[in-house]
Amino acid sequence: MRGAAPVLAGLILAGALLTGGCAGAPGRDTTGREVQRMLDARAAAVLRHDEAGYLSAFDPSARPLRAAGRAEFANLSELPLSSWEYRLTGVRRSGDRATADAELRYRLDGYDASPATAERRLELAERDGRWYITADRPGSGGAQQLWQQGDIEVVRGTHSLVLGVGQDRARLRRIAADADRAVPAVSAAWGGAWAGRVVVTVPGSQAAMGRLLGAPAAEFRGVAAVTTGIAATPGKPGGPAPADRVTVNPEAYGELGDHGRRVVLTHETAHVATRAHTSAATPLWLSEGFADWAAYRGTGRDVRETAPELRRAVLAGDLPGTLPADADFRFGGGERALGRAYEGGLLACELIARRWGEDRLRAFYRAVGAAESRDGAVEAAFAEVLGTSRERFTADWREYLAERLGGR
């Protein structure tokens, strides 16, 4: 939705241009303005902790919806919100009914430099000249929000904010402690400016995680945590970092030991730190490889522990011919294939750090993310930052894999 705000303001002012299928005369329908005004009042009620004002947006006859809204409002009251607003992006009216699409934008005070966003689709009914919400659902491609999943428990760490549903507070404190250790480790690895704090959400189950991320729960089987956020605009790196969220899978995360949990949260926190310099031009072998490099940096872990799947392949005579492609990182291709992709990216970044130095690895990452497009981005960074070519680096990487992983 970036770039839509200036146009949106004009649409709202025009009113009729934002509505379709309306019964009024062309240019006279004010549904868009009226719905936006109702949403503005709802947003203001959230920020001033006004339950009655928040519930006034719901259809008075929709008792189950109002009950759900009351529970949702109680959860929202637990969050340290600094902003909350709706931006109407479309209204389709038919008589006294309408469907509205809106972008919810909010910030957590002290944690979000830019708003987190969520697409919402609202069903509306007109009663006595006023519009009321009769249903509030995720928009196209959207997902459920944490505050809609149950009572929220909030734990503040030194560098972290952990939001959990259906979780023991002691467990959330341990996750906050893991995140607090991850932040300085990432700062040392990244070496550049970033917010230095992380927001972690912990749903009640893997199934709830799927609903929170708008994806089948099965996709996260064995995945301890993921980071969601918006990549930087190609060619415009280093702007305000978007509001990332690290989401923990309580089932897979709970199976990890202390070291595994620290590695996972350091990896995910590295994605938060590098987000403003990660764009569509950044290949996954670089973004995931750097995050793994940051997670293992300074741990003293042997390559047998950091790259077991790739080592198994190399020992079997199956040395990769190319750097991992983005498709290799997709879930569903098998855990071993996915492991080889991540480990290949890790060892590519490790090679750069060892041969050219850590500062060059960071500069390489930023140079790729700053490119206008994916085409030629990596090739240009290889030449300008490392003084090599993609072909030469790939050959060096293959030799490095054989050297690091081939010993028994």
Which is higher by pLDDT, 180 or 27? 180
Instruction: Quote the radius of gyration of the chain (alpha carbons, Å).
Output: 24
Q: 164-201: b or e for each residue (b if 16 or more CB lie within 10 Å)? A: bbebeeebbeebbbbbbbbbebbbebbeeebbebbbbb
Q: Which sequence spans correspond to the domains of the chain?
A: 5-142, 144-276, 280-408
Task: Compute CA distances 59 → 32, 55, 123, 223, whole Å.
Answer: 18, 9, 10, 40
- Residue 164 pLDDT exceeds 50: yes
For 14-47, write each residue's pLDDT tens digit.
Answer: 333 344 444 444 446 799 999 999 999 999 999 9
User: In the chain, what percentage of residues exceed pLDDT 70?
Assistant: 89
pLDDT of 211 reads: 94
Task: Write down how long the chain is.
Answer: 408
Domains 5-142 and 144-276 agree in fold: no
Arithmetic mean of pLDDT, 261-269: 96
Under the banding of pLDDT at 50, 70 and 90, the label for residue 406 is confident
Arithmetic mean of pLDDT, 356-368: 97
3-state SS track over the chain: CCCCHHHHHHHHHHCHHHEECCCCCCCCCCHHHHHHHHHHHHHHHHHCCCHHHHHCCECCCCHHHHHHHHHHHHHHCCCCEEEEEEEEEEEEEECCEEEEEEEEEEEECCCCCCCEEEEEEEEEEEECCEEEEEEEEECCCCCCCHHHCCCEEEEECCCEEEEEECCCHHHHHHHHHHHHHHHHHHHHHHCCCCCCCEEEEECCCHHHHHHHHCCCHHHHCCCCEEEECCCECCCCCCCCCCCCEEEECHHHHHCCCHHHHHHHHHHHHHHHHHHHHCECCCCHHHHHHHHHHHHHCCCCCCHHHHCHHHHHHHHCCCCCCCCCCHHHHCCCCCHHHHHHHHHHHHHHHHHHHHHCCHHHHHHHHHHHHCCCCCCCHHHHHHHHHHCCCHHHHHHHHHHHHHHHHCCC
- Give yes or no for a contact between 169 and 152, defined as CB atoms under 8 angstroms apart: no
For 105-123, write each residue's pLDDT tens digit.
Answer: 999 999 998 899 999 999 9
Under the banding of pLDDT at 50, 70 and 90, the label for residue 169 is very high
pLDDT of 192 reads: 82
- Residue 333 pLDDT exceeds 70: no
Arithmetic mean of pLDDT, 362-366: 97
- Residue 287 pLDDT exceeds 60: yes
- Residue 184 pLDDT exceeds 50: yes
- Residue 8 pLDDT exceeds 90: no
Under the banding of pLDDT at 50, 70 and 90, the label for residue 408 is low
pTM, rounded to two decimals: 0.87
- Residue 324 pLDDT exceeds 70: yes
Determine which of 137-151, 189-203, 226-240, 310-324 has the lowest per-residue pLDDT on average.
226-240
pLDDT of 34 reads: 95
Arithmetic mean of pLDDT, 276-286: 95
pLDDT of 4 reads: 33
For 208-249, write each residue's pLDDT tens digit.
Answer: 999 999 999 988 988 999 998 766 555 555 555 567 899 999
pLDDT of 234 reads: 57
Q: Which fold has domain 5-142?
A: Nuclear Transport Factor 2; Chain: A, (3.10.450)
**Mean of the per-residue pLDDT values of the chain:** 89
For 197-208, write each residue's pLDDT tens digit.
Answer: 999 999 999 999
Under the banding of pLDDT at 50, 70 and 90, the label for residue 160 is very high
- Give yes or no for a contact between 110 and 186, defined as CB atoms under 8 angstroms apart: no
Please report, as a single letter, which amino acid is at residue 57. Answer: A
pLDDT of 162 reads: 98
CATH architecture of the domain with residue range 144-276: 2-Layer Sandwich (3.30)
Which is higher by pLDDT, 100 or 192? 100
pLDDT of 304 reads: 83
pLDDT of 9 reads: 29
